[in-house]
């Protein structure tokens, strides 16, 4: 598999394979969205197929739901599941406190709802997503289509009082049309470059009328798994204060993951 996958994708695969090892029979599992999460869903599906693992998956987007069904995972709604044992998802950035920026795939609203309804959240990523300070990746903010321009002006005014470096706001597009989320909303991407106080910014954004949810995940993730292109996987548990490194053998043949994309 290492011959077919890029170094970055090999790292994502390694992190995903390590993460699904934390899933136990009978669990209710939140399934994230994005390229890294897609590796995870396929690895989890392999356990369902090969080991007879019985779980119920709650997807965070329509495309994750379709992939989960394709690989044999039973898909249920969050309301049907009631509460989740574990959510596994990727991240666009993660800092030392395991505060995240998510939403590059446009699903951070459902991702945050699902992760918040879980006993634990594991983030899987490659080493490039680890940052000292959040903000280089644009912060997604899901907003209503109604009053979009006024909401953008209110966000701009709010940013003037925040500890951020940049202030550019762009409407996310899908080709020539605005991107529409699974909930029928739009996304404004905030190009902040540096976020000095994520908690203050998150609270201020979510007080603005028209804002549905922002992509800052604070005090939600308790474990991060970092994959490397040589098969090394580092697991950091912030609650237990542990750091573990293992090396996985990456198969050389049978690439089942070459259709994965953001």
Kindly indicate the confidence band of residue 250, based on its pLDDT and cuts at 50, 70 and 90: confident
Q: Are residues 193 and 230 in the same domain?
A: no
Kindly indicate the confidence band of residue 4, based on its pLDDT and cuts at 50, 70 and 90: confident
Candidates 23, 46, 4, 2; CA nearest to 228 is 2
Q: Which residues contact 149 (CB under 8 A, 6 or more apart)?
A: none
In what helix (H) or strand (E) does residue 67 lie, and over which residues does it extend? helix 62-70
Kindly indicate the confidence band of residue 252, based on its pLDDT and cuts at 50, 70 and 90: low
12 annotated ligand binder: no
Q: Are residues 110 and 166 in the same domain?
A: no
Q: Are residues 106 and 17 in the same domain?
A: yes
Q: Are residues 110 and 235 in the same domain?
A: yes
User: Does residue 262 lie in a domain region?
Assistant: no
Are 198 and 131 in contact, with CB atoms under 8 Å apart? no
CATH value at residue 157: 3.30.70.260
Check residue 250 and report its DSSP letter.
P
Q: Other C-beta atoms within 10 Å of 21: how many?
A: 14
Q: State how beta strands 216-217 and 100-101 pair.
A: antiparallel
Kindly indicate the confidence band of residue 175, based on its pLDDT and cuts at 50, 70 and 90: very high
Q: Are residues 116 and 157 in the same domain?
A: no
Number of domains making up the chain: 2
pLDDT in tens, 126-150: 999 999 999 999 999 999 999 999 9
CA–CA gap between residue 223 and residue 161 (Å, rounded): 32
pLDDT at 199 over 50: yes
Mean of pLDDT values over 197-206: 98
Query: What would the two tokens of residue 104 be?
Result: 């590059």
Domain coverage including residue 180: 139-211
Catalytic residue among 51, 74, 93, 111: 111
Q: Which residues contact 137 (CB under 8 A, 6 or more apart)?
A: 92, 93, 101, 104
33 annotated ligand binder: yes
Beta bridge partners of 225: 124, 235
Mean of pLDDT values over 104-116: 97
Q: Are residues 14 and 124 in the same domain?
A: yes
Q: Are residues 119 and 32 in the same domain?
A: yes
User: Does residue 163 lie in a domain region?
Assistant: yes
> Residue holding tokens 């970092």?
226
Q: Are residues 80 and 178 in the same domain?
A: no
Query: What would the two tokens of residue 130 be?
Result: 């680890």
In what helix (H) or strand (E) does residue 169 lie, and over which residues does it extend? strand 168-171
CA–CA gap between residue 67 and residue 129 (Å, rounded): 24
219 annotated ligand binder: no
Residues, the chain, total?
262
231 annotated ligand binder: no
111 noted as active-site residue = yes
User: Does residue 200 lie in a domain region?
Assistant: yes
Q: Are residues 203 and 223 in the same domain?
A: no
pLDDT in tens, 49-98: 999 999 999 999 999 999 999 999 999 999 999 999 999 999 999 999 99
Check residue 149 and report its DSSP letter.
H
């Amino acid at each position: 598999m290492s011959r077919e996958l890029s170094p970055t994708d090999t790292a994502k695969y390694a992190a995903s394979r390590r993460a699904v090892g934390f899933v136990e029979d009978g669990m209710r599992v939140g399934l994230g969205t994005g390229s890294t999460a897609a590796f995870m869903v396929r690895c989890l599906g392999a356990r369902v197929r090969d080991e007879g693992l019985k779980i119920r998956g709650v997807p965070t987007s329509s495309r994750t739901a379709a992939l989960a069904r394709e690989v044999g995972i039973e898909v249920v709604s969050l309301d049907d599941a009631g509460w989740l044992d574990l959510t596994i998802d990727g991240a666009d950035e993660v800092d030392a406190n395991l505060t995240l920026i998510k939403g590059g795939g446009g699903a951070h609203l459902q991702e945050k709802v699902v992760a918040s309804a879980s006993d634990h959240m594991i983030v899987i990523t490659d080493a490039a997503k680890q940052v000292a300070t959040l903000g280089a990746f644009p912060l997604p903010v899901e907003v209503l289509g109604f009053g979009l321009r006024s909401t953008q002006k209110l966000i701009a005014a709010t940013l003037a009082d925040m500890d951020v470096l940049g202030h550019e706001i762009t409407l996310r597009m899908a080709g020539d049309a605005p991107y529409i989320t699974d909930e029928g909303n739009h996304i404004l991407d905030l190009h902040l470059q540096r976020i000095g106080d994520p908690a203050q910014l998150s609270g201020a954004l979510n007080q603005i009328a028209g804002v549905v949810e922002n992509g800052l995940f604070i005090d939600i993730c308790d474990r991060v798994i970092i994959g490397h292109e040589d098969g090394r996987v580092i697991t950091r548990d912030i609650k237990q204060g542990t750091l573990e490194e293992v090396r996985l053998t990456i198969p050389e043949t049978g690439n089942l993951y070459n259709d994965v994309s953001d």
